Amino acid sequence: MQLLSLFNFLTLNEWSVLLMFAVFIVMLFRGVPVAYALVGVSLVFIVLGEFVLDPNRKYINEFIEFDRTGITYTKLFANGSRFFGGIINNPVLVALPMFIFMGLMLDQSGVAQRMMKAMQVLFGALKGGLALSVMLIGIILAASTGVIGASVVLLGVMGIPTMMAQNYSKPIATGTIAASGTLGILIPPSIMLVIMSDQLAISLGDLFMGALFPGLLLGVLYIVFLIVYGLVNPKAMPVPENRPPVDMTIIKETALSVMPPMALILLVLGSIFFGFATPTEASGLGAMGATILAFLNRKLNMTVFKDVMRQTLNTSGYIVGIFIAANFFAFILRRFGGDEIIEHLVLSSFDDKYLVVLFILFIIFLLGFLLDWIEITLIIMPLMLPVVLALDIPVDGFGVVDNPSIVWFAILVAVTLQTSFLTPPVGFALFYLKGVCPPDITLGHIYRGVIPFVLLQLTGLGIVFAFPSIVTWLPAIAYGN
């Protein structure tokens, strides 16, 4: 490994690239909002590069203009059309607010509450039956929402009181809810995949189809773990003493409760799979379908509609704000030659191309402890794209999937970023869940509860890494017809 020796030969501009990242991390730890930190660091390094690091103005002079009064940013802000136009005029990103609206409206529709009541009775006789109910609902919600915060809060509000009343272990209860609620960031329709599609310039349909089996694989691993844990440690997930018998009425009620979200999944993913709609068009169908479900369940009114619209606006605005700031940061970084520097550092770290990919995933896993998935996706993914292209890893696209190695790499990163929701100190699922837990459930209980699920996520990552066809087979079937 030659990585450490490279630092002895870094130029001043190369050190400035590393310093940009270091200053950005420090600002985050100081509590500076992410968008402000990204823009602030970029502006500081523009000035630093012009006056100190690059006296020949090799990079900076192309977009900063000087006059007698000092710096003017005429050329710099002429690039505004590049930032805003790349977002506003991007048809892929139109799907972002639609999928957010769909998830929020589905959470308001009462579908999940009905499923929880039916599945509690259906699986009540099993050891860990309540945990299995929560996990299955989490998988179904993941395939029909894609909004993490709302899913974790909803499952926490529904599941925690019942689990505590049934004397469940606090770590296993909280870990189950946190892990199941975060599946929506991977199982399509996922807003993270929408952003990855834009950043990597690959088909959103390929990403949606490619992420389906890895997402379901994680769900299966979670379910197997809960079943085994319930057999090995039945005191942690006891069976209720007074439980109603399972009959055809219960089975029918469960089936009826599952049908609406499954219909929504079929509407969104089925329309993409069978070629009836593009992912952007399918997002509109999903938003309409979730609204219809809320209306049929008599949960739709003007208050609910306004609340969902307001939350959609806030979430979309937050993501787009970081999107613009991260693009600005990456733009300045590239002006210092940051993309070439990072590509050289990563490619020189190991001789084996697969070890290089594992090294990238390890860095992303570590960054997940410190950064949100949005910053990692917007800043790191574009920088890693030329690295993966240079590796030229042979991944079978079955003659149909465009850039199969990039699709495979994107899903590997998506599975890795699953862990960022469950790893402290910035694991958002942990804090969403803590906000709806009773006072006697501490962050310590939650931290201990998510450890086995993080290990299962890494196990799933290893399986997808070893068998790339898990990612590429379904897109090939979907678009090969």
Q: Which two tokens stand for residue 478?
A: 């979907």
Could you write out the three-class secondary structure of 307-361? Answer: HHHHHHHHHHHHHHHHHHHHHHHHHHHHHCCHHHHHHHHHHCCCCCHHHHHHHHH
Task: Name 407's Cβ contacts closer than 8 Å, sequence gap at least 6.
Answer: 202, 203, 206, 207, 210, 395, 397, 401, 471, 472, 475
Q: Which of 47-61, 185-199, 317-331 has the lowest mean pLDDT?
A: 47-61
Token pair 């309409």 is at which residue? 288
Using the predicted structure, report yes or no on whether residue 73 has a pLDDT greater than 60: no
Tell me the pLDDT tens digit for each residue of 137-184.
888 888 776 667 777 887 888 888 888 888 888 999 899 998 988 888
**Which residues is 72 bridged to in the sheet?**
65
Q: Are 294 and 105 in contact (CB under 8 A)?
A: yes
- What would the mean pLDDT of 97-119 be, rounded to a whole number? 83
CB atoms closer than 10 angstroms to residue 440: 8
By DSSP bridging, strand 65-67 and strand 70-72 are: antiparallel
Q: Which of 50-64, 279-293, 371-385, 459-473 has the highest mean pLDDT?
A: 459-473
Residues 6+ apart with CB under 8 A from 260: 109, 111, 293, 296
Q: pLDDT grade, residue 92 (50/70/90)? A: confident
Whether 218 shows a pLDDT value over 90: the answer reads: yes
Which of 109, 154, 164 has the alpha carbon at shortest distance from 131? 164
Q: Encode pLDDT of 194-210 as tens digits.
A: 888 888 888 888 888 89
Looking at residue 59, what is its pLDDT? Answer: 45
Band (pLDDT 50/70/90 cuts) for residue 479 is low
- Rounded to whole angstroms, the Cα distance separating 143 from 103 reads 10
Tell me which of 74-78, 100-104, 238-242, 243-247 is least confident: 74-78
pLDDT bin (cut points 50, 70, 90) of residue 69 is: very low
Q: Which residue has the higher pLDDT, 297 or 91?
A: 297
Lowest mean pLDDT, pick from 330-344, 351-365, 453-467: 330-344
Tens-place pLDDT, residues 401-419: 678 889 999 999 999 988 8
Comparison of pLDDT for 307 and 83, the residue scoring more: 307
Average pLDDT, the chain: 80
Q: Place 78 in a pLDDT band, splitting at 50, 70 and 90.
A: low
pTM value is 0.84
Task: Yes or no: say if 222 and 132 are a contact pair by the CB < 8 Å rule.
Answer: no
pLDDT band at 60 (very low <50, low <70, confident <90, very high): very low
Partners of residue 70 on adjacent β-strands: 67
Rank 188-202, 285-299, 308-322, 332-346 by mean pLDDT and report only the highest.
285-299
